[in-house]
């Protein structure tokens, strides 16, 4: 059964994600994504939920440039976990230059796990 785009649960990604993908960069990026989700200050049900929460924080699409601008304006004391999570997302963009949107990476994961 094919999972819907971006509805992959966090547990499924933890259990199956890294073992299914064949690309080492994608495997590393999944590990980084799981760390970013773990550090996010609010509970997250699935990848779509995480993307939605990050999009709301950034005020739109999740891009490297928007993350950098947001991190520069967050309070290090009150937003430390959010900064940590967003910084980890930057690591995904730096590792996989082919993605300009977080949604592209999540879609790619979904297709590989499909």
Q: How many domains does the chain have?
A: 1
pLDDT for the residue numbered 3: 46
Q: Over the chain (114 residues), what is each successive 10-residue block's mean pLDDT? A: 59 76 83 96 92 96 96 97 98 92 88 75
Give the domain extent around 30. 10-113
Is residue 2 included in any domain, yes or no?
no
Distance CA 112, CA 109 (A): 5
Is residue 56 included in any domain, yes or no?
yes
pLDDT for the residue numbered 6: 52
Burial of 78 (0-12, 13-18, 19+ CB in 10 A): exposed
pLDDT for the residue numbered 1: 39
Is residue 86 included in any domain, yes or no?
yes
Is residue 5 included in any domain, yes or no?
no
6: helix, coil or strand?
coil
Is residue 1 included in any domain, yes or no?
no
Is residue 82 included in any domain, yes or no?
yes
pLDDT for the residue numbered 10: 87
């Amino acid at each position: 059964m094919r999972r819907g785009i971006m509805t992959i649960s966090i547990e499924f990604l933890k259990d199956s994600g890294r073992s299914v993908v064949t690309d080492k960069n994608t495997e590393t990026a999944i590990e980084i994504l799981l760390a970013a989700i773990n550090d996010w200050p609010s509970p997250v049900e699935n990848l779509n939920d995480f993307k939605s929460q990050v999009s709301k924080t950034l005020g739109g699409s999740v891009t490297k440039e928007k993350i950098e601008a947001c991190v520069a304006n967050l309070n290090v004391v009150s937003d430390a976990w959010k900064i940590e999570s967003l910084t980890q997302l930057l690591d995904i963009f730096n590792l996989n230059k082919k993605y300009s949107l977080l949604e592209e990476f999540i879609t790619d994961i979904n297709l590989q796990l499909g």
